[in-house]
Amino acid sequence: MTNQSQQIYKKLQILLKDLPWYVEEYINHKKRKLSAASLLNYAHDYKIFFNWLIDEEVFNGKITEVPLELLESLTVQQAEGFLSYLQYQLNNKEITVNRKLSALKSLFNYLQNIAETRDLKPYLQRNVMAKIEFNEIKDSMETIANKIEGKILIGDEYEKFRQFIAYDYGLQIKENKKLYNFHLLNRERDTAIVSLILGSGLRLSEVVNLNLDDIDYSKYTARVIRKGNKEQFVYFSKLAMDDLQEYLSIRESKYQVDKSNKALFIAAAMGPKGKPRRLTARSIEKLIEKYAAAFGKPSLSVHKLRHSFATRYHNEINDVPKLRRQLGHSSIQTTMIYTHIRNDDLRHAVDKMDLPKDEA
């Protein structure tokens, strides 16, 4: 287990102390199947739900005291009321409401169909969440694809953005010595991070958790732990390997990192007594935001770089099952979105409709 996962599990254990006993039992049941981050998200969702029960006076007492009998007696109207609260008071998008509902459905299903008392009876006889339907997401795949397309790197922008981080950004901020020196320290690392995501489609958490020995330098693969704690070796591009090798050549000298520190991407020590440490997810998000804004494409994010890779992969290889495996999607429907981005053949066919017959 990585240090990051251990930290997440610690946060999870603290959060579980504020939730009913059967939630902790459910989380323990799911530990083999879900990542630490997913379990922590589930626990946060449950806390919102139980807080709502108390705020609405469905239950008077502490969250830890909410009995199974209360869950069993919840009405459909009350469950729908919670979803309305998420959407209209917390301003959650429909897809976020669906995610929180999915978490509740999973918990209630466990309580009704998996968990059992000593006399072999289910914890719940009645499951109100089984009666609640998910929000129908109004956007079609084409609409989602169109929204993504305007926010990702297309065509020669891949290399332009990479070159911008490696060289042009430094020229842009050269007059500010503090910023310029900070960039000189981190440009090989930052270029390698962006190049790796653009050359593999790795998730942010997967990049953060990479260790030195996770990279296979002969096969151009990175060992990652995907959702559901599944180990996978993910291919990345030769260009990403070149940038990674350049970063590794200066990693120890620039960051003064001890050989016992196996984290691939390092943050410099803070202060005279600080030690080099693993670069955090938020730090990577912030550095992408910084470069994206200076590049003139502020909508770029780590996830948009992943979208950029997937779009390029599909355009060049057009193999959805392979792309699904590369991205680690559990559902092929998620991967199918990329078949709707930059469909140049379709656009060309439509354009030809307006041409005279002898030009078409």
Write the DSSP assignment of 187-225 as a string of letters.
HHHHHHHHHHHHTT---HHHHHT-BGGGEETTTTEEEEE
Q: What is the CATH code of the structural domain delimited by 143-347?
A: 1.10.443.10
Confidence of residue 4 (pLDDT cuts 50, 70, 90): low
H/E stretch holding 267: strand 266-267
Residue 284 has, within 13 A of its CA and on its CB side, a CA count of 26
Query: Which tokens is 38 given?
Result: 């997913």
- The answer on pLDDT for 3 being more than 70 is no
Q: Name the average pLDDT for the chain.
A: 87
- The answer on pLDDT for 346 being more than 60 is no
What per-residue confidence (pLDDT) applies to 353? Answer: 46
Confidence of residue 96 (pLDDT cuts 50, 70, 90): confident
- The answer on pLDDT for 220 being more than 50 is yes
Cα separation, 189 vs 291, in Å, equals 13
Q: Count CB-CB contacts under 10 A for residue 230.
A: 12
Could you tell me which residues are beta bridge partners of residue 122?
116
Q: What is the mean pLDDT of residues 261-274?
A: 87
What per-residue confidence (pLDDT) applies to 359? Answer: 47
Q: What is the mean pLDDT of residues 169-189?
A: 95
Rounded percentage of the chain residues whose pLDDT exceeds 90? 63
Burial zone of 270 (CB within 10 Å; 0-12 exposed, 13-18 middle, 19+ buried)? exposed
Q: At what angle do helices 302-317 and 141-149 cross, to 10 degrees?
A: 110
Confidence of residue 142 (pLDDT cuts 50, 70, 90): low
Active-site residue numbers?
A: 203, 227, 303, 306, 329, 338
- Domain positions in the chain: 3-136, 143-347
Report the range of poorest mean pLDDT among 69-73, 214-218, 261-265, 298-302.
298-302
What per-residue confidence (pLDDT) applies to 343? Answer: 47
pTM: predicted TM-score of the whole model, two decimal places: 0.60
Q: What is the mean pLDDT of residues 104-108?
A: 96
Q: Count CB-CB contacts under 10 A for residue 169.
A: 21
Query: Which tokens is 270 given?
Result: 């803070």
What per-residue confidence (pLDDT) applies to 327? Answer: 87
- The answer on pLDDT for 345 being more than 60 is no
Cα separation, 113 vs 72, in Å, equals 13
Cβ(128)–Cβ(108) below 8 Å: yes
Residue 358, C-beta contacts closer than 8 angstroms, at least 6 positions apart? none
- The answer on pLDDT for 227 being more than 80 is no
Cα separation, 29 vs 16, in Å, equals 14
Rounded percentage of the chain residues whose pLDDT exceeds 70? 88
At residue 56, what is the residue type?
A: E
Torsion angle defined by CA atoms of residues 346, 351, 355 and 358, in that order, rounded to the nearest 10 degrees: -30
Cα separation, 193 vs 305, in Å, equals 11
Query: Which tokens is 11 given?
Result: 């946060």
Report the range of poorest mean pLDDT among 162-176, 238-252, 311-325.
311-325
